[in-house]
Structure 1
Amino acid sequence: MCECIYRKQESDGVLNSKSKGCLMMNKILQYLDCPQYLRKTFFPHQPELQFAGLLNPLDTPHHMRIHDDSLYREGVVLSKPVKPGHGSYVNVGLKDNLEVDKLIQNGVRVTVKVNKHNNSSDAAKKLTGTVVPWSEPRVKSGLYWGYRTRLAADLNEALHGKSVVAPEGYDCIIGTSDKGDNIDRFNLPSYKLSRDLEQFELK
């Protein structure tokens, strides 16, 4: 799991060029992490993203195609009416929408564990699933499930500020700078990394 953080500087409420660059980079990274079948929902036509489609796709496990068989899928909660006692409908990039186990606010992005049918007669029934934490595919199945981004006002907040992904702190912090050491002489810790922070500096 990787959480990328970018400096955000403001002066008298006006964004400077570096801050605008940070916001733009943050949006592009979020766009790339979003599965293609969800991009029209979360990233409607925006001039600043008109060329984002030319970027190389991540092609990671959470970027499913319609025929991919996977226990987990990313989805968005739909505004489709539901019957009493039923959960929300979610678009998870399949031919049919999937019903989850609870009611959730429309437009929210969720990670869904897809229920597997045991026999052919069940296959004709509607698709169902369970909403799970975003970290579950990684923790329980060892799947890389994308990254999260956040904006920090300064370097101190970036390194020590509260993070939803890593509230207990980071295992490893990686920064880029022309004044840094040669990466060929850097040895990663021997223990398993689960909360690493990559810090980039925009000039």
Structure 2
Amino acid sequence: MVIASLLRGADRGEDESQSYTGLTNPSHFLAHLLSYMETPPYLRKALFPMHPNLRTAGTLPSLDLPSHVRINEWSPYRRKRPPAVAVSPATPREQDGYYWGYSVRISASLSAVLTECPFDGGYDLSFGTSERGQPLSEMAAAKDVDLADRGISARNVADLFDYWVNLVPAQGSRTIRTEEAVWLGLMALRGVVMENGAGA
């Protein structure tokens, strides 16, 4: 998941963890919350110090990801505090086919999202969402995919992405909120990724 940001506090050399709030830098706020939600509940207190952004984080919905292993569940992987054998976050997916959660990357701008890809050779495919897009099932096969929501304004916006897709054909409402569109897009993408053999 990539979030475009102006990196206001970090550019001035400030302590990034305390230099912003949801009002001063919404992109960092969203990245902070997404990272918090992805972290297993039993590690949150150790990994996330007190911050104004997390004041109401307890009201966020539980994701119940496979990485959020319960006490009575067995898993060959578990996120722990030391002592433990450290493995790459990609190991559960690459070796055993476990979906282990998402990662959050902050970019300076939308163009940086598309040009500063962390994968060798760039993204296989990028797409934006629109109610006038084509169904997701018509997309080409891809392994590394970038999702951007429809809140973009540019003159040549059609040229930004390889495809424009409609995540919810015949949705029955005028609009879908961004927070709903992100989860719908990720759920729909999982099926495309699984069909193309890119892991669990």
Common fold by TM > 0.5 = yes
1:195 aligned to 2:161? no
2:66 aligns with 61
**Corresponding residue SS for 1:67:** coil
1:48 aligns with 53
Residues 97-136 of structure 1, C-alpha deviations (whole Å, 9 max, x = no match): xxx3xxxxxxxxxxxxxxxxxxxxxxxxxxxxxx322112
**Corresponding residue SS for 1:25:** helix
1:34 aligns with 39
Describe how 1:28-177 pairs up with structure 2 within 5 A. Answer: 28-77=33-82, 89-90=83-84, 100=85, 131-163=86-118, 166-176=119-129
Over aligned residues, Cα RMSD in angstroms? 3.1
Describe how 1:7-22 pairs up with structure 2 within 5 A. Answer: 7-9=4-6, 20-22=25-27
Alpha-carbon spacing, 1:167–1:19, altered in 2? closer, same or farther (3 Å):
farther
2: CA distance between counterparts of 1:57 and 1:155?
Answer: 29
2: CA distance between counterparts of 1:148 and 1:51?
Answer: 22
Tell me by how many angstroms 1:44 deviates.
2.0
2:177 aligns with none
1:93 aligns with none
Larger relative strand fraction: 1
List runs of 5+ in structure 2 lacking aligned partners.
13-19, 154-200
1:5 aligns with 2
Which of structures 1 and 2 has the bigger CA Rg?
Answer: 1
Larger relative helix fraction: 2
List runs of 5+ in structure 1 lacking aligned partners.
78-88, 91-99, 101-130
Percent identity over paired residues? 29
**Corresponding residue SS for 2:147:** strand
**Corresponding residue SS for 2:126:** strand
Q: Is the 8 A contact 2:33 2:53 kept in 1?
A: no
2: CA distance between counterparts of 1:70 and 1:135?
Answer: 15
TM-score normalised by length of structure 1 = 0.59
1:182 aligns with 132
Q: Is the 8 A contact 2:8 2:25 kept in 1?
A: no
TM-score normalised by length of structure 2 = 0.60
2: CA distance between counterparts of 1:36 and 1:196?
Answer: 28
Alpha-carbon spacing, 1:57–1:10, altered in 2? closer, same or farther (3 Å):
closer
Q: Is the 8 A contact 2:7 2:28 kept in 1?
A: no
Tell me by how many angstroms 1:18 deviates.
8.2
